[in-house]
Structure 1
Amino acid sequence: MRSPGAAGRSTRARILDAAIQRFGRDGFDASLRAIAADAGVSAAAIIKHYGSKEQLHEACDEYVLGFIRDNKRTSMNADDLGAAFMSQMALLDDYQPIFLYVMRSYMAGGEVARHLIEHMVTDAVDYVREAVERGKLVPSRDEEARVRYLVGASVGGMLMAVMREDRDLPELDRDFWRRTMHGMALPALEIFTEGFLTDRAMLDEYLLYIGDPPQSEERSA
């Protein structure tokens, strides 16, 4: 995540960075005046570059979704998955504004949360399909259903960690996000890599119950 006010940053980019961080800390009712002060510009400059606070919010969503999509696509399609994963983990401190913004969006609920989650699922279906085609991931009988489950597990895990803290969202520091992500990494990787059940009895019984999932014929073709 880029830092507002960094040397060489354009006014438009500084505004976007400041908005992501301010919305994450204070919520989407944060004023243009506060965002402008963070970016070192006037409120009029925000209107000039983004048109309105609503359009600025949309631009923040677009940036955050693109950031997540690009990082996931890069790591999942890397030749060395282990090295790519550890490179991402080494950058957790830099991702704090993104974590905060995403959590704020989830906790806002309503259309704000739905918009972000649905776009995350759509993006994930694409980059997971690419990774399956490259032989990096095992194919699924129903790829979209699997992606929705994985996104839901990630969202739920992060929300649970936030809710367990006796602190407000803006007070969660880098140490919290490091502990949270490392706390999720081991069990997730164990399940993804080694599995969970010792046999496939439950899956076989469920497949008999529901019949062929929508993508099963395409998968076996």
Structure 2
Amino acid sequence: MSSERDPEDLTARARIRDAAMRHFAEHGFERTTIRGIAETAGVSSGLLRHHFGSKEALRDACDEYVLGIVRRLNEQTWAAFEAGDLGGAPSAQAPLGQFNRYIARSLIDGGSAELFDEITRMGEAWVATFDARRDDEPFTSARVRAAVVSAWGLALPMMSRHLSRVMGADLETPEGFALLANALLDLYSHPLMSPEEAAAARAGLSEAVDTERSHP
């Protein structure tokens, strides 16, 4: 028997995966059914189980597929950064789409822990790189800040309807994405607080925590 896989078999697998991502994003993991995914993919439930075995295994396959894309975009963005051409990075041009919605919904449902951890690890490398340019010591570790930025970024798709309404542009269009990207670049490059204001706020926070601990 030949070890090569039938191209049609691979196509069916990809259709099932793409259909599952749409269903998981729109309905959540619990409400999504094997039958519904199979109908959208145009295959039988039996073929779906043949390829993936279970709904849980199918979600794992979706996570791994998205993670592969995120890793590739991260590598390409690093290359663009090192070449001094961040504007040409794919991640700076790609509009929000089904992957972001899938990730956000999966995280809400309590899944994709490995995916979030990997995105945080990627972010940690970026934060550490920018930390090397700082003249002062960071308030928290690169990992903590990377996790916060990751959560911030992944929350944007969940708020896309509200953001689109307030911004006056659909975030899933090139124009809307460009507006969002420029807003983020402005926030990243121009702090809202001065170092002195941040230091005062940090001192007040520390005092409040100490007071709370001394008066349980």
TM-score range, shorter chain: 0.5 to 0.7
Letter in 2 for 1:42: S
TM-score normalised according to structure 1 size: 0.66
Q: Structure 2 CA distance, aligned partners of 1:59 and 1:122?
A: 17
How far apart are 1:101 and its partner, in Å? 1.4
How far apart are 1:66 and its partner, in Å? 3.1
Letter in 2 for 1:149: V
User: Which secondary structure state, in structure 1, belongs to the residue aligned with residue 71 of structure 2?
Assistant: helix
Tell me what 2:192 maps to.
196
The answer as to 2:157 corresponding to 1:161 is no
User: Which secondary structure state, in structure 2, belongs to the residue aligned with residue 201 of structure 1?
Assistant: helix
1:1-221 superposed matches below 5 A: 9-28=10-29, 29-78=31-80, 79-85=83-89, 87-92=90-95, 96-106=97-107, 109=108, 112=109, 114-116=110-112, 118-131=113-126, 135=129, 137-139=130-132, 140=138, 141-162=140-161, 175-178=170-173, 181-197=177-193, 199-205=194-200
Letter in 2 for 1:182: A
Overall identity of the aligned pairs, in % = 23
Q: Structure 2 CA distance, aligned partners of 1:32 and 1:151?
A: 30
Structure 1 runs, 4 residues or longer, greater than 4 Å off: 6-9, 163-166, 206-210
TM-score normalised according to structure 2 size: 0.68
Cα RMSD over matched residues? 3.4
Aligned length: 187
For structure 2, list consecutive stretches of 5 or more residues without a partner in the other structure.
Answer: 1-6, 133-137, 207-216
Q: Structure 1 CA distance, aligned partners of 2:91 and 2:8?
A: 25
Structure label with greater radius of gyration: 2
Q: Structure 2 CA distance, aligned partners of 1:160 and 1:151?
A: 15
Letter in 1 for 2:37: I
